[in-house]
Homo-oligomer: A and B are copies of this chain.
Amino acid sequence: MSDAPATFTRDLARYRDLTTSALLDGIPAGGPPYLYDLVASYPSRHGKGLRAALCLATCEAFGGTRARALNSAVAIELLHNGFLVHDDVQDASEARRGGPTLHRSHSVGIAVNVGNATNLLALRRLVDNRATLGPERAAAIVDETDRMMRHTLEGQALELAWIADNACDLDDGDYLRMCLKKTSWYSFVYPMRVGATIAMGPRPADAFTRFGWYLGAAFQIQDDVLNLTGHYDRYRKEIGGDLFEGKRTLMLIRVLRACSGPERRRLKAYLAAPRTARTETDARWLLALMERHGAIAHAKAAARQLAGAAMFEAARTLGPVPDGPARRFIHDLVRYVVTRDA
């Protein structure tokens, strides 16, 4: 649930169902076991489909049709799912969208392969764009994809490095830079730039990048807050998994800066220990520490501020666009992002 209007929820579901059917229809039948059958696994578990919806709505708002953007929307959703499969391996996560993660239900080897196959099917969709969008726009979308993947891998590398090196002296700026690369670009900047490219041609305005960047940061912070405070049956991820993982969220970074003496020593030792050595007692203590130091309130306030900035950029980006359902959808998405509780 969120404060976004009912039309938003309805439109989001429509965009999602359109993309999911096209995605599942395009997965090759047959082939060896544990490959294409498992490519369908995460997409069948009903994610929100935000990224594909944003691409379709942007294309429509700027004068294109959703039919022309569908191929790219499917590619976006595939890349997202391929990224999740690998990300779950990388973070040793246990649950995803109400089911076990793929490396847990099968094996790390199979999960790595399925993630690669998911990415390959996305690449093929981008190749198919040549026929439907012509060579110039198809090539521009490949270039956007290359750029997005570079940002995503660099963001992922930053986060993995923080854990590998047990980074304990980060600040909010470090977090926001990581977030721009790891979340904003592939979840918001890229879908909008692709939708705009399909509607209007290569090299869309920088306003899309700024809008997506603020929106993505607000989204990721809200996601991290929900990981700590949400309820499993709504949110359907591991609750508090971030605590066990030692993930450098805005909350953890705040606590590391705020606490001192024995608290800080205990926290650093907790973060230095291997994940399997961290107990539930430790994780509860860390959560209480975050509450005591106002870290969760700080993160919520930051998400609201970033959503405000996104709202401002949205008004600019959508300025020249006549009113209509797609424009309203993008506008409402900002409200949805920070008021959702799942």
Find out whether the CB atom of A153 lies under 8 angstroms from the CB atom of B120. Answer: yes
Find out whether the CB atom of B157 lies under 8 angstroms from the CB atom of A34. Answer: yes
Chain B min CB distance to A119 (Å): 8
Cβ-closest chain B residue relative to A89: B112
Binds B, one of A47-55, A139-147, A323-331: A139-147
Our pick among B109, B135, B153 for the contact of A90 (Cβ within 8 Å) is B109
Binds B, one of A70-78, A122-130, A198-206: A122-130
Binds B, one of A57-65, A158-166, A210-218, A287-295: A158-166
Find out whether the CB atom of B164 lies under 8 angstroms from the CB atom of A146. Answer: no
Find out whether the CB atom of B161 lies under 8 angstroms from the CB atom of A32. Answer: yes
Is A41 interfacial (CB 8 A cutoff)? Answer: no
Contacting residues, chain B, for A89 (C-beta < 8 A): 108-109, 112
Contacting residues, chain B, for A108 (C-beta < 8 A): 89-90, 108
Cβ-closest chain B residue relative to A146: B124
Complex formed: what's the CA distance from A120 to B35 in Å? 21
Is A110 interfacial (CB 8 A cutoff)? Answer: yes
Check A156/B86 contact, CB under 8 A, given A142-B127, A146-B124.
no
Find out whether the CB atom of A109 lies under 8 angstroms from the CB atom of B91. Answer: yes
Cβ-closest chain B residue relative to A163: B109
Q: How many copies does the complex hold?
A: 2
Complex formed: what's the CA distance from A150 to B32 in Å? 11
**Chain A facing B: main interface SS:** helix
Complex formed: what's the CA distance from A157 to B30 in Å? 12
Contacting residues, chain B, for A154 (C-beta < 8 A): 31-32, 35
Chain A window 85-129, contacts with chain B (Cβ cutoff 8 Å), 1 for yes, 0 for no: 010011110000000000000111110110111001001100100
Most chain B Cβ neighbours within 10 Å, of A89, A107, A157: A157
Complex formed: what's the CA distance from A112 to B156 in Å? 10
Our pick among B86, B117, B143 for the contact of A127 (Cβ within 8 Å) is B143
Cβ-closest chain B residue relative to A165: B33
Find out whether the CB atom of A149 lies under 8 angstroms from the CB atom of B161. Answer: no
- Taking A33-B161, A35-B154, A127-B146 as known contacts, 14 extra A-B pairs with beta carbons closer than 8 A to each other, sorted by chain A number, are A31-B154, A32-B158, A33-B157, A35-B153, A35-B157, A89-B109, A90-B108, A108-B108, A110-B157, A116-B153, A120-B146, A120-B150, A127-B139, A135-B139
Q: Which 10 A-B pairs have the closest CB atoms?
A: A90-B109, A35-B157, A32-B157, A32-B158, A117-B153, A33-B161, A109-B160, A34-B161, A120-B149, A113-B156
30 contacting pairs across A/B (C-beta < 8 A): A31-B154, A33-B157, A33-B161, A33-B165, A34-B160, A35-B157, A86-B112, A90-B112, A90-B113, A106-B164, A107-B160, A107-B164, A109-B160, A109-B163, A110-B157, A110-B164, A113-B153, A113-B157, A113-B160, A116-B149, A116-B153, A117-B153, A120-B149, A123-B146, A123-B149, A127-B139, A127-B143, A127-B146, A130-B139, A135-B139
